[in-house]
Amino acid sequence: MAQLKTERAQLSRFSPERLRVEARKEKSKDRALTVFIYAFLIVASLPIILGYGWLLLNSFSETLAYGVLPKGWTIKNFRFLWELPSRYYPDLWRTTWNTLLLAVGMTVIMILIATPAAYVISRMKFPGRSMMLAMTLILHSFPGVTLLISLYYVLRSLNLLNSIVGVFLVKAGLMLPLGIWIMKGFFDNVSWDVEMSGLVDGASRLQTLYKIVLPQVKPGIAAMAIFSFINGWSEYIYVITFIQKKESWTLSSYVNSIIGDFQFIDYGLLSATALFYILPVLLFFIFTQKYLMTVTVGGTKG
């Protein structure tokens, strides 16, 4: 006790000069840290900034000096919009249409099929429910690559190889369990009390779904829909594997082919087609990225 008190008596006197010096030191340390953190973020992000910047700039310029600086503005890189890059290519607009079909199909599936299923699994009691949840988990450990081969077999048996419908069904099958699982999470978060009070007020279970539960999970469903659209639009591996026929190509096959044919010859054309492909995604991303972040996080539940 006594010792503590004397010690305090010594400590208690501030030396104002010393305090100023120390405070200044702390402040400059703090500033250095801020500068360092910004520097880190900017340098680390350079590949992304430059990469996407290149996609944009290179698409509209004749050449790039030192691989970075655009020279000579032009739109000739976008000639694929009105003429075929070479006579082996299918019509671009047909290809775009196929891509769109796949994207919209995925969105519709998520809204019309996954949402009701997620609701039922999350909020209704029925025999076999826990078995179904367990099944979802087991399925989850069958990664896409595992199923690719047997899916090839299934599609061929159903005569759906080389068709967008085939890829669509395959992707739907693979995405549904995860999608249902994520959306189940959204439904799980709706308070039971709110739904119970709805029931007590005389609504049926179906009415509470429409009037009480759905409005609360709307942002989640919207996010899932956007996510599915982008996912379908961007699909690469199943398209490449299951579709060879040019009439059924999507933009993935198209750009893939451009890489093969023009990589070292015509970077302008390559970046322009890639830009064309990424454009809708970019727009969605810019306007809805807050939503998309919730799916990325929500996705960890599944």
Partner 1 sequence: MKRRGYGMVFLLLLPALLIILAFYVVPAVLTGTMSLTNMDHRLSWNFVGLQNYKQMLQDTILSRVFWNTIVYVFGTLLCFNVTFGLLLALATSYIAERQGERTSMFFRALWLLPRFTPPIVYGVIWLWILDPTRNGLLNGVLDFFGGKPVSWISKYPVQVIVLTNGVIGASFGMILFYSAITSISKEYNWAAAVDGAGWLQRIRYVTLPLIRWPLMFVTAYQTLSLLTSYEYILIITGGGPFYRTTVWSLYAYNEAFGGYYASYRFGYATALTLVLVVISMVASIIYWRVFRFREMMSEPKIEVI
Partner 2 sequence: MAAVILKNITKAFGSVIAVNDVTLEIPDGKVTALLGPSGCGKTTMLLMLAGIYQPTKGEIYFDEVMVNGIPPKLRNVGLVFQSYALYPHMTVYDNIAFPLKLKKVPKDEIRARVQEIAKIVQIDDLLQRKPGQISGGQQQRVALCRALVKNPDLLLLDEPLSNLDARLRIETRAEIKRIQQELGITTILVTHDQVEAVTMADHVAVMRKGVIQQYSTPEDLLLKPANMFVASFIGDPPMNLLETEVTSHEGRPVFRCGAELHIPIPPQVAVSLEQRRAKEFILGIRPEHLEILDERQELAFRGTVSMVELLGRDKLVDFRFGDVAIRALVPAEVNIHEGEEKWVRPQPHRIHLFDKEERRAVRFAG
Site for partner 2 in 12-71 (CB under 8 A): 12, 14, 16, 19, 22-23, 26-27, 30
Tell me how far the alpha carbon of residue 142 is from its chain's centroid.
Answer: 21
Check binding of 157 to partner 2 (CB under 8 A): no
Residue 12 binds which of partner 2, partner 1, none (CB < 5-8 A, kind-dependent):
partner 2
Residue 265's binding partner among partner 1, partner 2, none (Cβ under 5 to 8 angstroms by kind) is none
Q: Which of 141, 86, 104 is nearest to 254 (CA)?
A: 86
Per CB under 8 A, contacts with partner 1 among 129-168 are: 130, 133, 137-154, 156
101 binds partner 1 (CB under 8 A): no
48 near partner 1, judged by CB under 8 A: yes
Distances (CA, A) of 89 to 8, 84, 101: 84, 6, 20
Tokens 């000639």, residue located:
79
**Smallest distance, Å, CB 290 to partner 2?**
22
Q: How would you label 13-22 residue by residue, b for 16+ Cβ within 10 Å and e otherwise?
A: eeeeeeeeee
Q: Is 250 exposed, middle or buried (0-12, 13-18, 19+ CB in 10 A)?
A: buried
Q: Residue 23 binds which one of partner 2, partner 1, none, with CB within 5 to 8 A depending on kind?
A: partner 2
The one of partner 2, partner 1, none whose footprint includes residue 37, by CB under 5 to 8 A per kind, is: partner 1
Distances (CA, A) of 208 to 32, 186, 198, 200: 56, 16, 6, 10
CB of 118 to partner 1, least distance (A): 9
CA 257 to CA 165: how far, in whole Å? 22
Residue 21: name its binding partner from partner 2, partner 1, none (Cβ under 5 to 8 Å by kind): none
Interaction residues for partner 1, span 190-209 (CB under 8 A): 192, 195-196, 199, 205-206
* Rounded-to-10 torsion of CA 173, 178, 182, 183: 10
CB closer to partner 1 out of 79 and 117: 117
| x-marked contacts with partner 2 along 202-241 as a string, rule CB under 8 A | ----------------------------------------
Judged by CB, which is closer to partner 2: 27, or 218? 27
- What residue type is assigned to position 150 of the chain? S
Grouping H, G, I as helix, E, B as strand and the rest as coil, residue 61 is strand
Other CB atoms within 10 A of residue 125 CB: 6
**Cβ neighbour number for residue 235 with a 10 Å cutoff:** 21
**Quick check: 170 binds partner 1 (CB under 8 A)?**
yes
Q: Exactly one of 230, 243, 248, 249 binds partner 1 (CB under 8 A); which one?
A: 230
Shortest spacing between CB 4 and partner 1, in angstroms: 19
C-beta of residue 117 within 8 angstroms of C-beta of residue 175:
no
C-beta neighbour count of 200 within 10 angstroms: 8
Q: Which amino acid, one-letter code, is at 113?
A: I
Considering only 112, 159, 202, 260, the residue that binds partner 1 (CB under 8 A) is 112
Residues that bind partner 2 (CB under 8 A): 1, 3-5, 7-8, 11-12, 14, 16, 19, 22-23, 26-27, 30
